[in-house]
Chain A
């Protein structure tokens, strides 16, 4: 049962433009959300996170938005750079249970 869903398997964006990645979840117990970036042959690298008590968290070019009523979060990358080309995973957890549930990932390609 997939509790975290990323319905767009791929995204292509031009360099300098905004990349928007979406993630939906079904478990209302989730209270902490993370985005990871993964290059081929490497492990996932933590990017940014957000707690359910917030609706926005920003770190440089990366902003994550959380809409709890819709059980939806999104990651914005502005401006997109060629080095951002990677697979992005959305993950969620709840309470003191630190186990992560991952989405299927979105492959981002930034075109020069």
Chain B
């Protein structure tokens, strides 16, 4: 299986600031995604992180609010910009390894609290 790590594991931020979350995979993955899990809710896809090009965002999510980078096949970042308390969530990255495309592996998540 692919091992995915995220940094930071948690953070408490002030309203109006931005936080960048890093996602590192131990092997090359063909696709990477970013999800959000709001308190008491399920996982919702934010965007597909495309290597070397702009991310593909789902309905309700925009690049200005959630800029994403993916400079290579094993690393991606998600920035939560101009944060408000409504952004308090767990943010998770996931990846599909090239050797096993039927399975999507998840990182441990970043728990964000915005005051």
Write the residues of chain A forming the contact surface with B, with a CB cutoff of 8 angstroms: 32, 34, 36, 41-46, 49, 89, 98-105
Residues of A near B31 (CB, < 8 A) are 98
Residue of B nearest to A4 (CB): B42
- Whether the pair A100, B104 counts as a contact (CB closer than 8 A) is yes
Q: List the 7 closest pairs (A to B, CB-CB), nearest first.
A: A43-B106, A102-B43, A102-B42, A43-B108, A104-B42, A44-B106, A43-B109
Task: Choose among A89, A98, A103, A104 the residue with the greatest number of B CB atoms under 10 Å from its CB.
Answer: A98
- Whether the pair A100, B45 counts as a contact (CB closer than 8 A) is yes
Q: How many residues of chain B have a CB within 8 Å of chain A?
A: 23
In Å, the complex CA distance between A44 and B4 comes to 11
- Whether the pair A103, B42 counts as a contact (CB closer than 8 A) is yes
Residues of A near B33 (CB, < 8 A) are 98-100
Whether A42 contacts B41 in the complex (CB less than 8 A), given A34-B104, A49-B102, A98-B31, comes out as no
Write the residues of chain B forming the contact surface with A, with a CB cutoff of 8 angstroms: 1, 4, 31, 33, 41-45, 48, 58, 92, 96, 101-109, 111
- Whether the pair B103, A41 counts as a contact (CB closer than 8 A) is no
Residues of A near B58 (CB, < 8 A) are 99
In Å, the complex CA distance between A68 and B43 comes to 24
Closest CB-CB distance, A29 to chain B, in whole Å? 16
In Å, the complex CA distance between A44 and B90 comes to 12
Residue of B nearest to A49 (CB): B102
Closest CB-CB distance, B1 to chain A, in whole Å? 8
- Whether the pair B107, A43 counts as a contact (CB closer than 8 A) is yes
Residues of B near A49 (CB, < 8 A) are 102-103
Residue of B nearest to A38 (CB): B106
Residues of B near A43 (CB, < 8 A) are 4, 92, 106-109
